[in-house]
């Protein structure tokens, strides 16, 4: 069992620092062919990534297949213009605010891996395999943990997940196939911030009380199943469900550094360092992430060399109602437990894709996605300044003997979003506008034998 768990842990640590590229922090980048078609792949599901997109599709494969790939992500730092509780801005009677500020997140590079093995029996009635992919991830970082205008809420957040998914599929008859799998998730999370309180530490000293970093990992179990219908040779319908995960980060390391030692509290007339027993403090913490279930419906139709598909893809984000963080040795208001409300809503993404088989070896693809944000304005925070988005994709595939190479390019066009949810007394939220975009390149190599 220990050796079985080692592989996904290494994949997380060596290959991923995942970020949010569907609305919320879901990552559908589990296969380059699907990516090139806007992830409208639930009804086709005809390569090893069917383990993720619809396990019933495994019955369409022949022999044994090994597929490995990676998606490179370039996240261009989102830009913010407005106010935060750190600014201490004052409204103007003519409208607007004094001292309005801007900040740009760090531009970051990420790699999202996938790997699959499948085998179909000689009869074609049973297929099975195992997949490894990263279904959720979140990465944001601000440029300076001591001066960022968001430092009181977040200076860095990094959520990385990898799922190991053994799967089996059955061909009931020429029309119906079904598939089912078990999912084991390993997750690793980091959160950093710099509490800011000018009542305790003067603004001349940045108002910073200390630097905090929480890092830990955990695991969770889930399941998935899919259905594939082929009422005619050219028409296919697919459905795919993935269960929610409750990822518990237990006994994470909490490091408190640079605790202010020069300014006394009034009351009780002692410094923050005196409360913590020094300028550094270590303890343990835990967090619980309620990751959502997903459900997709798709229909695909083939007309000669052209295949088109349309999918509706639900993400049941209502599970993400809050983000509880518990500190083992908290220090009252200086280092409290927190339970930030999120109250995200369920959303459905609309996915369209097409493939044109130019020749038997060569296929060209294109896709489009409308992906609405689940984050309501009143609880949106700088850890994920989310917005509706349009995704544009192109891709190609080429076969050489037993080898297939698939590549795809995706551009993420996030809508500008203006939010006014600043709660100065609580030190949360912001009033302002966010902009941002990203682009991705995916590559998969498959060997059939």
| Rounded distance between C-alpha atoms, residue 223 and residue 221, angstroms | 7
| Rounded distance between C-alpha atoms, residue 159 and residue 135, angstroms | 11
197: nearest Cα among 270, 295, 132, 272? 272
| Rounded distance between C-alpha atoms, residue 83 and residue 98, angstroms | 9
Query: Token digits for 56?
Result: 């019933």
| Rounded distance between C-alpha atoms, residue 171 and residue 57, angstroms | 9
pLDDT at 408: 98
120: nearest Cα among 128, 132, 112? 128
pLDDT at 7: 44
pLDDT at 274: 86
As averages over each run of 10 residues, the pLDDT of the chain (449 residues) reads 42 46 81 98 98 98 97 88 73 49 82 95 95 91 89 90 97 97 95 87 83 94 98 97 94 92 71 88 92 97 97 96 88 84 95 97 98 93 90 98 97 93 80 91 97
pLDDT at 16: 45
Phi, psi of 89 (to 5 degrees): -80, 155
Place of tokens 């979003």: 417
| Rounded distance between C-alpha atoms, residue 196 and residue 201, angstroms | 8
| Rounded distance between C-alpha atoms, residue 174 and residue 363, angstroms | 26
pLDDT at 390: 96
Apex 384 CA angle, 324 and 198, nearest 5: 70
Which one is the CATH code of 2-448: 3.40.50.720, 2.40.160.60, 3.40.50.620, 1.10.1200.10?
A: 2.40.160.60
HSE-CB for 268 with a 13 A CA cutoff: 7
394: nearest Cα among 340, 354, 446? 354
Residue boundaries of the structural domains of the chain: 2-448
pLDDT at 268: 66
DSSP state of 293: P
| Rounded distance between C-alpha atoms, residue 417 and residue 273, angstroms | 40
């Amino acid at each position: 069992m220990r050796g079985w768990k080692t592989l996904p842990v290494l994949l997380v640590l060596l290959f991923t620092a995942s970020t949010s590229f569907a609305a919320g922090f879901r990552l559908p980048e589990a296969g380059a062919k699907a990516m090139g078609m806007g992830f409208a792949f639930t009804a086709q599901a005809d390569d090893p990534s069917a383990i993720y997109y619809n396990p019933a599709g495994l019955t369409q494969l022949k022999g044994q297949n090994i597929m490995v790939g990676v998606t490179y992500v370039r996240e261009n730092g989102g830009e913010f213009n407005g106010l935060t509780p750190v600014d201490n801005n004052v409204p103007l009677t003519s409208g607007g605010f004094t001292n309005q500020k801007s900040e740009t997140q760090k531009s970051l590079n990420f790699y999202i891996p996938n790997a699959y093995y499948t085998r179909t029996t000689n009869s074609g009635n049973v297929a099975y395999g195992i997949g490894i992919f990263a279904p959720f991830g979140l990465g944001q970082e601000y440029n300076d943990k001591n001066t960022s205008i968001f430092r009181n809420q977040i200076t860095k957040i990094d959520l990385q997940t990898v799922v190991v998914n053994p799967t089996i599929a059955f061909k009931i008859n020429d029309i119906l196939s079904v598939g089912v799998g078990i999912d084991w998730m390993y997750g690793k999370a980091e959160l950093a911030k710099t509490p800011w309180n000018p009542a305790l530490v003067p603004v001349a000293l940045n108002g910073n009380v200390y630097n905090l970093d929480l890092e830990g990992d955990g695991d969770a179990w889930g399941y998935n199943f899919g259905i594939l219908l082929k009422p005619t040779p050219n028409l296919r319908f697919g459905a795919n469900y993935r269960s929610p995960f409750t990822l518990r980060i237990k006994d994470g390391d909490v490091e408190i550094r640079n605790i202010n030692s020069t300014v006394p509290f009034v009351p009780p007339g002692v410094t923050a360092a005196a409360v913590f027993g020094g300028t550094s403090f270590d303890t343990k913490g835990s967090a619980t992430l309620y990751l959502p279930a997903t459900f997709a419906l798709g229909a695909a139709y083939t007309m000669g060399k052209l295949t088109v598909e349309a999918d509706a893809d639900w993400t049941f984000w209502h599970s993400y109602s809050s983000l509880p963080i518990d500190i083992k040795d908290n220090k009252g208001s200086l280092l409290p437990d927190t339970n930030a409300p999120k109250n995200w809503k369920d959303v459905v993404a609309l996915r369209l894709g097409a493939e044109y088989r130019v020749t038997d070896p060569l296929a060209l693809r294109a896709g489009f996605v409308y992906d609405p944000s689940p984050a309501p304005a009143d609880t949106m925070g700088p850890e994920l300044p989310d917005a509706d988005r349009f995704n544009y994709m192109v891709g190609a595939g080429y076969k050489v003997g037993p080898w297939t190479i698939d590549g795809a390019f995706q551009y993420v066009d996030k809508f500008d979003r203006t939010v006014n949810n600043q709660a100065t007394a609580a030190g949360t939220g912001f009033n302002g506008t966010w902009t941002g975009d990203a682009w991705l390149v995916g590559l998969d190599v498959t060997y059939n034998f």
